[in-house]
Copies of this chain bind each other. A is one copy, B any other.
Amino acid sequence: MTYCVGLKIDSGLVFMSDTRTNAGMDSISTFKKMHVWEEPGERVIVLMSAGNLATTQAVVSLLDERNKAVTDRHEKLLETPSMYQTVRLVGETVKEVIAQSSPAGDKADSYFNASFILGGQIKGSPPRLFMIYPEGNFIESTDDTPFFQIGETKYGKPIIIRAYDCAMSLAETVKLLLVSFDSTLKSNLSVGLPLDLAFLEKDAFKVGLNKRIGQDDPYYRAISEGWSNALKTAFASLPDFPG
C-alpha cells in the first residue's frame, strides 16, 4: 500500500508520501513515490503516486524521457502552458500506460491501476492541486476540499478533517501531516518510513523544502511520542459516561 497527502494552504502546497511498496507481506521494498520537476523561477511540479509500482514508474519514466527528448511529438512536462494542461498530460500518460498493461477490460478495476496527486505552479497562475484517477481523468482541490489523499487514506483522515485550516503555517501543516502519517503507520504495516516531504511556497516557483524523514528524525519522534500522550490527555479531559 501507500499513503500520500497533498494539501493546499494559503502560503502554498505541502506534500507528504511514505516509501513502502509491497508485493505480499514477504516482499517489501523502499521506493520514492514523490517526484519533482522544476524550472526555477518559472514552474515547479510535484507528482505523488499510489498503486501498481510498474505502472507508476512507467508514468514517471515516460514523463521524464519525453521531457528530455530534443524532438518528440509529445508535449513536454516543462513546456505545458498551464497546470490544467499539465494534469491533462499526466492523465493521458496514465491512460496510455494502463492501456498497454491491460489492453482489455475495465481500466479502473485493473490490477495495473494507479492514482496520483499532482500539484504545482506555473508563472502567471496560482498554485493548483489535482487528483488523477486510473482512468486518466482528474479533479481539482477547492476551498471546500483543500486536500487529497491516496492509498491507505482512512486511518489518517479524521485528524486532517478536524485540525486543517487554510491559514495554517507550513510548520503547523507539517505537524498535522506527521500526526496523520503516524496514525497510519501504527495501523497498517504496508505504509512505512521514511517519509518524503515537499513544500512549494506560493510564487517561489521552486521547491522550498524537500526533506526525507526517517525513524531517527528527532521531530518525527517528538510528534509520534507526543501525540500518544496528547491524545491520552485529550481523552482524559472528556467527561466519563454518567451511566
**Residues of A bordering B, CB below 8 Å:** 154-155, 157-159, 161-163, 169-176, 178-179, 183, 186-187, 209, 219, 222-223, 226-228, 230-235, 237-243
Given A155-B154, A161-B187, A187-B157, also A230-B219 (CB < 8 A): no
Given A226-B238, A234-B230, A239-B222, also A186-B159 (CB < 8 A): no
Given contacts A155-B155, A173-B241, A219-B242, 18 further A-B contacts (CB under 8 A): A154-B187, A158-B186, A158-B187, A159-B231, A162-B186, A163-B232, A171-B240, A171-B241, A175-B235, A175-B240, A179-B235, A226-B237, A226-B239, A227-B238, A230-B234, A230-B235, A230-B238, A233-B237
Of the listed residues A176, A231, A233, A237, the one surrounded by the most CB atoms of chain B closer than 10 A to its CB is A231
Q: What secondary structure prevails in chain A residues at the interface with B? A: helix
> Which listed residue, B223, B227, B238, touches A223 by the CB 8 Å rule?
B238
Complex CA–CA separation, A158 to B154 (angstroms): 10
Complex CA–CA separation, A237 to B223 (angstroms): 10
Whose C-beta in chain B lies nearest to the C-beta of A168?
B240
Q: List the B side residues contacting A172 at CB < 8 Å.
A: 240-241
Complex CA–CA separation, A178 to B239 (angstroms): 12
Complex CA–CA separation, A237 to B227 (angstroms): 9
Complex CA–CA separation, A234 to B230 (angstroms): 5
Complex CA–CA separation, A209 to B239 (angstroms): 19
Complex CA–CA separation, A173 to B241 (angstroms): 8
Of the listed residues A155, A173, A186, A235, the one surrounded by the most CB atoms of chain B closer than 10 A to its CB is A235
9 closest A-B pairs by beta carbon, nearest first, are A174-B241, A154-B154, A171-B240, A230-B234, A234-B234, A158-B183, A171-B241, A226-B238, A163-B235
